[in-house]
Amino acid sequence: EQARSLGSYSGTCTTKDGHRIPLLANVGSGADARKAADAGAEGVGLLRTEFCFLNRDTEPTVEEQSAAYREVFDAFPACKVVIRTLDAGADKPLPFLTDASEPNPALGVRGYRTELSTPGVLDRQLKAISEAADGATTDVWVMAPMISTAEEAQHFAESCAAAGLKVPGVMVEVPSAALTAGAILQRVNFASIGTNDLTQYVMAADRQLGPLAALNDPWQPAVLQLIRQTVAGAETARGGKRSSGEPNGDNGKSVGVCGEAAADPALAVVLVGLGVTSLSMSSRAFAAVAAVIGSVSLTDAQGLAQQALAAPTAIEARTAVRAGLPILT
Ligand code: PEP
Ligand code: MG
Helix axes 221-238, 314-323, angle to 10 degrees: 70
Best of 53, 87, 197 to mutate for ligand 1, by most ligand atoms within 8 A of CB? 197
User: Mind listing the pLDDT tens digit for each residue in 143-177?
Assistant: 999 999 999 999 999 999 999 999 999 999 999 99
- Ligand 1 site residues, Cβ closer than 6 angstroms: 46, 48, 87, 173, 194-197, 258-259
Distance in angstroms (rounded) separating the CA atoms of residues 26 and 225: 24
Best of 53, 258, 281 to mutate for ligand 1, by most ligand atoms within 8 A of CB? 258
Q: Which residues pair with 141 in a beta bridge?
A: 82
Residues with Cβ–ion distance below 5 A, ligand 2: 173, 194, 197
Return the residue whose CA atom lies nearest to atom 10 of ligand 1: 197
Rounded to the nearest whole angstrom, what is the distance from the C-alpha of residue 145 to the centroid of ligand 2? 7
User: Mind listing the pLDDT tens digit for each residue in 103-115?
Assistant: 999 999 999 999 9
Indicate the range of 31-40, 50-59, 243-252, 309-318 predicted with least confidence.
243-252
User: Mind listing the pLDDT tens digit for each residue in 183-207?
Assistant: 999 999 999 999 999 999 999 999 9
pTM: 0.96
Count other C-beta atoms under 10 Å from residue 297's C-beta: 13
Please say if the pLDDT value at position 270 is more than 60. yes
- 71 pLDDT band, cuts 50/70/90, is very high
Give the ipTM of the model, two decimals please.
0.99
Residue 246, CB half-sphere, CA atoms under 13 Å: how many?
Answer: 20
Ligand 1 nearest atom to the CA of residue 258, by list position: 5
